[in-house]
Amino acid sequence: MLKQKIQEELKQAMLAQDVLKTSVLRMVKSAITYYEIQKGGAGYEATDEDVLSVIQKEAKQRRDSIEEYKKANRQDLADKEIKELEMLQAYLPQQMPEEQIREIVLDTIREINATSVAEMGKVMGALMPKVKGKADGGLVSKIVKESLNS
């Protein structure tokens, strides 16, 4: 299980005195524990899918932080978040290339006969199960909006 892999890598990072990796893995482990408590208390064990969901959420927070730090001209903090994001991405499945996402978006729009941005929610509802975990939701949303506007 992914949760055990993270625990083992945390031990290795601590032994190697890798401060950044130890910090990131502790944060992930804590987020997983919080998720388990929210889902069902002490007896709930997160599945690999749950763990991936938690890691994706943490990665999204890093992307948002990087953007904000860059706007505030805090490159030092953005660089730290970039390193953390790279570590988190090692646990996520390979992301789809943008061209493949565009193809899936166009196919989905054709399937449900969407013609305007007003139907974006319907398109996203049909689309997200197809790309879940393999594509960033923000990018998918942007591509859907562009496709429906053209």
Express each pLDDT in 84-114 by its tens digit.
999 998 888 888 888 998 899 889 888 888 8
pTM for the model? 0.74
Note the CATH number of domain 98-149.
Answer: 1.10.10.410
CA distances from 41 to 28, 31, 34, 44, 109 (A): 18, 14, 9, 6, 40
Given this model, what pLDDT does residue 78 score?
Answer: 94
- Domain limits of the chain? 2-89, 98-149
The yes-or-no verdict on residue 42 having pLDDT over 70 is no
Element (H, E) at 133: none
Give tens-digit pLDDT for 61-79: 999 999 999 999 999 999 9
Superfamily the domain 2-89 falls into: Uncharacterised protein YqeY/AIM41, N-terminal domain (1.10.1510.10)
Q: Which residue has better confidence, 136 or 28?
A: 28
- Residues 106, 111, 114, 120: what is their CA dihedral angle, to the nearest 10 degrees? -70
